[in-house]
Amino acid sequence: MNDTQAQNSQLENQPAKASTDAPSMDDPFLWLEDIHGARAMDWVKQENAVTTKQFVDNTEFVKTRDSILEVLDSDARIPYVNRMGDELYNFWRDKAHPRGIWRRTTLAEYRKAEPKWEVLLDVDALNKAEGKRWVYKGAQCLKPAFERCLISLSPDGGDATVVREFSIPHKAFVKDGFELPVAKSQVGWIDEDTIYVGTDFGPGSMTESSYPRIVKQWRRGTPLSAAITVYEGKPTDLAISAYHDRTPGYERDFVSVAKDFFHSELYQRNGDKLTRLDVPTDADTDARREWLMVRIRSPWTVGGTTYPSGALLATRFDSFMAGERHFTVLFQPDAHTSLDSYAWTRHHLILNLMDDVKSRLEVLTPPLAAAPTGDWKREAMPGAPAMSTISVIDTDPDHSDEYWLDVAGFLAPASLERGVLGSAAAETIKQEPAFFDAAAFAVSQHFVSSKDGTRVPYFEITPKDMKLDGSNRTLLYGYGGFEVSLQPHYSGSIGRAWLNRGGVYVIANIRGGGEYGPQWHQAALKANRPRAYEDFAAVAEDLVKRGVTSAKHLGAEGGSNGGLLMGNMLTMYPQLFGAIACEVPLLDMKRYTHLSAGASWMAEYGDPDTADWNFIKTFSPYQNLQKDAHYPPVLFYTTTSDDRVGPVQARKMAAKMKAMGMANVWFYENLEGGHGAGADNKQAALMHALAYDFLWDQLK
């Protein structure tokens, strides 16, 4: 993941905002937007009690929850690692460490069946010592020594965190070190005494989307108020950040100005001078050693050549900054193939491609510096097994050509492989255990024509002895937004809680995602959002047409943007489903920009406070509920601490449906866990079990 992508992956996050609006005839449930208000929380507790009595307080639920928790807590899971220097680091949660431990080991030790780990930070012990409920949110460590780190801790599992400096040699937080209070901060090392920091500096320092509007350079031993301003954005910008590239011989500083979720400007910083990189604002741009990589989302004409949407381009950084515009095309999409991601090793570039949503890897070798016009060499890497996903999860780009691969399929537990390009072939270092008997099931891929004729793929996992008589309880999952791809993956939880019961599990690769590159995503943006819903409905209809299931036995599940998808299945296509699980959802698209991080996503959905409402209202479930309509049973679940989407949209939707006299409307709100719905494995197991048991019960 490059720096621009890494930033974009965090832009859904901001502190939740409570509405002070009084109830009105248009929306009598605005009082539920007071997230922690006594009246709202009383309502939440009452609804939780009703849902708990119906679905949680029984032996079948306990069985489902415990079977999922056994997977999440299993010591046989792969402890995924990332390399920092000579050590491999891992964050681990299990029954003994519900909030987790941050630890490290050596490669030689990691190869063993039971490695010896050096524990650096025990979050449960920290919580006991400080009387807190911290949730670990990651660490940024200063290379090349990797002895000082900036650790982020959330007080409730949400995205707003404190930042505290940590010493690895001392295994302790640094007294009088860098420290920030709870906020949506963005930080990064410059050197051992200096960091970039974007945070809430006080009134007016945040954008209208509630992200940092100002980035500063902060020196150790000085108050935050004395930090030097590097860049001030506009209130209408999305977020401002800066970072320092410490690659030896290629040290550079950059400032990123995010205009919206998909558009940004990148500047190189030299002292007080900022020079903008002349690339499209909707491109992902990455400088690595002598190379500049540009991954374009829209066709780009430059240097007399037009490059297609979805292409990955490369040129020499210094030459580009000097005005040259000659690019080498490293990847160009076609009707079936897109670029999922890329990763640098010291001397090579690994491309992770998708052929009809199935993985394939290629290795590219750039020309030497002495051959400025040389060609990039290209060769295939051994691909993944059929119906699987292979991901490059770590490399060591400063020092070696080491790479780590995660390989998994729907029925194939993940394996962790390590290799060194040009020498050691990939070898399996760790193997995930099987949490259910895969021999009883089969995986297939199907395609269906959507309403406008677009060919939409979906994956299907079924019992081998399944009869095509329409009687199979089937769970259809989807997302369809933000250029996120749903690829084959192994889930012990789904295997145990759904497949082992005899259920069918289906993943729909609908438009709005990234399965076929930027164009697949852009086909469902803003006014075209209903195309994603038509795709999902087409898959549902195809499952019935093929005899896999019938409407009364077909359930649907989705969260976040996928929760908006579920809301529209509920209001647009209620006749297609027997039950729906709608998780941490967007639903009130009239007010979404005023709730939690909603203003960040206007590039995806549009601005309802403008004429955009004319098309947004067509896919706003909260406004489109009809009193006399017949809706399938629905479960809404969310979390109080979710500071991305927030809990209020699920609250209001459930309350409105209940006020309309609709039966079989269920609601559950976990207090912790943020947008992920669980602050620890036990909470996550409860939430997953609730969804699966609800759907299984309703689809009988």
pLDDT in tens, 624-650: 999 999 999 999 999 999 988 999 999
The single-letter DSSP state of residue 432 is P
Mean pLDDT in residue range 582-587? 97
Over residues 549-581, the pLDDT tens digits come to 999 999 999 999 999 999 999 999 999 999 999
CA distance readout (Å), 339 to 355, 403, 486: 9, 18, 14
Do residues 103 and 116 touch, judged by C-beta distance below 8 A?
Answer: no
Of 59-68, 428-437, 530-539, 669-678, the range with the lowest mean pLDDT is: 669-678
Q: How confident is the model at residue 373 (pLDDT cuts 50, 70, 90)?
A: low
Q: How confident is the model at residue 372 (pLDDT cuts 50, 70, 90)?
A: low
Q: Which two tokens stand for residue 234?
A: 């506009």
- What is the CATH classification number for the domain harbouring 624? 3.40.50.1820
Mean pLDDT in residue range 248-259? 97
> Is residue 79, in this structure, part of any structural domain at all?
no
Residues recognised as catalytic: 560, 675
Mean pLDDT value across the chain: 94
- What span, in angstroms and rounded, lies between the C-alpha atoms of 519 and 517? 6
**What percentage of residues in the chain have a pLDDT greater than 90?**
89
The pLDDT value given to residue 673: 85
Of 379-383, 443-447, 605-609, the range with the lowest mean pLDDT is: 379-383
Share of the chain residues as helix, strand and coil, in percent rounded to the nearest 5: 25, 35, 40
> pLDDT at residue 425 above 90?
no
> Is residue 192, in this structure, part of any structural domain at all?
no
71 φ/ψ angles, rounded to the nearest 5 degrees: -65, -50
Mean pLDDT in residue range 8-34? 57
Q: How confident is the model at residue 210 (pLDDT cuts 50, 70, 90)?
A: confident
Q: Which two tokens stand for residue 296?
A: 């374009």
Mean pLDDT in residue range 69-77? 96
Residue 206's beta-bridge partner residues?
212
The single-letter DSSP state of residue 56 is I
Q: How confident is the model at residue 371 (pLDDT cuts 50, 70, 90)?
A: low
- What span, in angstroms and rounded, lies between the C-alpha atoms of 307 and 314? 12
Of 30-34, 278-282, 388-392, the range with the lowest mean pLDDT is: 388-392
- What span, in angstroms and rounded, lies between the C-alpha atoms of 396 and 111? 18
Return the H-helix or E-strand segment holding 493: helix 492-497
Mean pLDDT in residue range 320-346? 96
Q: Which two tokens stand for residue 184?
A: 């949506």
> pLDDT at residue 13 above 60?
no
Cα radius of gyration rounded to whole Å, the chain: 25
Residue 231's beta-bridge partner residues?
215
Q: Which two tokens stand for residue 586?
A: 């967007």
Over residues 113-167, the pLDDT tens digits come to 999 999 999 999 999 999 999 999 999 999 999 999 999 999 988 889 999 999 9
> Is residue 196, in this structure, part of any structural domain at all?
no
- What span, in angstroms and rounded, lies between the C-alpha atoms of 471 and 451? 26
The pLDDT value given to residue 679: 84
Please give the distance of CA 341 from its chain centroid, rounded to a whole number.
Answer: 14
The pLDDT value given to residue 8: 34
- What span, in angstroms and rounded, lies between the C-alpha atoms of 27 and 24? 5
- Residue 165 identity: E
Over residues 668-689, the pLDDT tens digits come to 999 988 888 788 999 999 999 9
Mean pLDDT in residue range 337-349? 97
Burial class (CB in 10 A: 0-12, 13-18, 19+), 581: buried
- What span, in angstroms and rounded, lies between the C-alpha atoms of 545 and 547? 5
For the chain, what's the residue count?
700
Mean pLDDT in residue range 388-394? 93
**Per the structure, how many domains does the chain have?**
1
Q: How confident is the model at residue 381 (pLDDT cuts 50, 70, 90)?
A: confident
> Is residue 535, in this structure, part of any structural domain at all?
yes
> Is residue 658, in this structure, part of any structural domain at all?
yes
The pLDDT value given to residue 597: 87
- What span, in angstroms and rounded, lies between the C-alpha atoms of 297 and 310? 5
Mean pLDDT in residue range 74-82? 97
The pLDDT value given to residue 4: 32
> pLDDT at residue 385 above 90?
no
The single-letter DSSP state of residue 396 is -
**What percentage of residues in the chain have a pLDDT greater than 70?**
95
- What span, in angstroms and rounded, lies between the C-alpha atoms of 430 and 109? 12
> pLDDT at residue 17 above 50?
no
> pLDDT at residue 18 above 60?
no
Range of the domain at 650: 435-698
The pLDDT value given to residue 9: 35
- What span, in angstroms and rounded, lies between the C-alpha atoms of 246 and 243? 10
Report the sign of the C-alpha dihedral through residues 156, 581, 648, 666, in that order. Answer: negative
CA distance readout (Å), 370 to 319, 364, 374: 14, 18, 9
Closest CA to 260 of 238, 230, 279: 238
Do residues 339 and 351 touch, judged by C-beta distance below 8 A?
Answer: yes
Do residues 581 and 635 touch, judged by C-beta distance below 8 A?
Answer: yes
> Is residue 550, in this structure, part of any structural domain at all?
yes
> Is residue 133, in this structure, part of any structural domain at all?
no
- What span, in angstroms and rounded, lies between the C-alpha atoms of 460 and 695? 18
Q: Tokens 């090392």 map to which residue?
A: 189
Q: Which residues contact 154 (CB under 8 A, 6 or more apart)?
A: 134, 135, 137, 160, 161, 674
Closest CA to 580 of 596, 594, 564: 564
